[in-house]
Amino acid sequence: MTGTVDTDLHPGVDVVCLGESMVTFLPSLPGRLADVPSFARTIGGAESNVACALAAAGHTVKWVSRVGADGFGDHLVDAIAAYGVDVSGVRRDPDRPTGIYFRTATDRAADAHEVAYYRAGSAASAMAPGTLSYDDLWAGRVLHVSGITAALSDDCLALMRELTTRAPGRPLLSFDVNHRPGLWRDGSGARVLLDLARGADLVFVGEDEAAEAWGLHGGDAIRAALPEPATLVVKRGSAGATVYERGAGGAGAGAPVGGGANGGVGSGLDGGAGASVDSGLDGGAGQSVGSGPDGGADTVTSVPALRVDVVAPVGAGDAFAAGFLSATLRGLPAAARLRHGHLMAAATLTVPGDLGTPPSRADADRLVDLDPAAWGTLRLGPGWTAATEQEVRTP
């Protein structure tokens, strides 16, 4: 199925997000954790971030997880529900606590960045095959997961292996690699994440994390290692993002959503993508078609990132995934999906926490429709999503 959402198999819910969310403590001042005098409480978790952003953008979303039967668990459930997310699939654990973490204000990639996790033995780490209902997990048109869940425990890894095994009736499986080396104490993370990604229909991965985890450099090399997903999105930081799509039907074709488990499976590590990439650095959406991993056409589209006055970088990848998924659900073409991802990321980059307020759909669509020159000169800063059409200045 190409360019449409399968509403017959999975009616009612657009996206189900599975994963741990934690109570997050943000520093009141820059500096080492040892020197920060106080922290502000908020929420954070890759999958719940995606859920909240999608709900704020007007989609029906369900979050599936486990939290402790404690005050922090109460706060998480209430805070996520306040975004309009269905939390009926969240289980409360009377024996295990809700995870929490503290972080500094610096970029996660910076040497000075510190994160102190208190999640070992958390309620979410007890997620396992058989503990969650497939009535919840397969309730949506898309099931979104990330590699973080696989790192939480052996039970969580077993659950992720089950979910990434292709099966009839499975919704489109979206997988964000989210390589976090500190969570993989035995060093197995890189190989595990590659195996899990191969079972997904849509994969998000950063060019930097692919280099760190797999020693792969550039989108073509990543596609060669991941031929199985029908759609591969490679995030290239300030350079933008590139999407590889098998059987996309050329420019303007929407992404397939629904019935993802029936997609074709590629040949493995030696099946190269073979497609050339037009970087689109002139402000446009570069697109090319090359030989795909199974001999079919792989359409490759690149869109440059926006210029953003960054307040804090944490959560931007989750926001990008939410923007891309939102546009995918609407059947928009590849370049528009990438632009919506960039806009949603910009909404989070311009706030101190993990979650920004997305622009209205009308404003987002207006910005996505800008010509290449106008897109290339657009600059967004704090508060831009609350600005009127006249205040968000475009050439």
Written as six digits, the tokens of 24 are 């997050």
Number of Cβ atoms within 10 Å of the Cβ of 362 = 9
Which pLDDT score, from 0 to 100, does residue 274 have? 36
Which pLDDT score, from 0 to 100, does residue 233 have? 98
Pick from 228, 152, 224: which is nearest to 196 by CA? Answer: 228
Low-confidence stretches of the chain (pLDDT < 70) are: 1-11, 106-111, 248-296, 388-395
Q: Per residue in 95-115, pLDDT tens?
A: 999 999 998 876 565 667 788
- The pairing of beta strand 22-27 with beta strand 115-118: unpaired
Which pLDDT score, from 0 to 100, does residue 249 have? 47
Number of Cβ atoms within 10 Å of the Cβ of 191 = 12
3-state secondary structure string, 180-212? Answer: CHHHCCCCCHHHHHHHHHHCCCEEEEEHHHHHH
Residues paired with 174 in a beta bridge: 144, 202
Q: Give the dihedral sign, CA 271/272/275/279.
A: positive
> Alpha-carbon distance 132 to 243, whole Å?
32
Q: Per residue in 220-268, pLDDT tens?
A: 999 999 999 999 999 999 899 999 998 754 333 444 455 444 333 232 2
Which pLDDT score, from 0 to 100, does residue 28 have? 87
Which pLDDT score, from 0 to 100, does residue 247 have? 75
Which pLDDT score, from 0 to 100, does residue 104 have? 84
> Alpha-carbon distance 355 to 360, whole Å?
15
Which pLDDT score, from 0 to 100, does residue 304 have? 95
pTM: 0.86
Written as six digits, the tokens of 353 are 């926490």
Which pLDDT score, from 0 to 100, does residue 103 have? 85
Unique residue bearing structure tokens 């920060």: 36
Number of Cβ atoms within 10 Å of the Cβ of 351 = 16
Number of Cβ atoms within 10 Å of the Cβ of 219 = 26
> Alpha-carbon distance 56 to 315, whole Å?
15
Pick from 327, 218, 324: which is nearest to 276 by CA? Answer: 218
| Cβ(326)–Cβ(142) below 8 Å | no
Residues paired with 24 in a beta bridge: 42, 101
| Cβ(258)–Cβ(231) below 8 Å | no
Which pLDDT score, from 0 to 100, does residue 257 have? 58
Which pLDDT score, from 0 to 100, does residue 354 have? 80
User: By percentage, how much of the chain surpasses pLDDT 70?
Assistant: 81
Which pLDDT score, from 0 to 100, does residue 368 have? 95
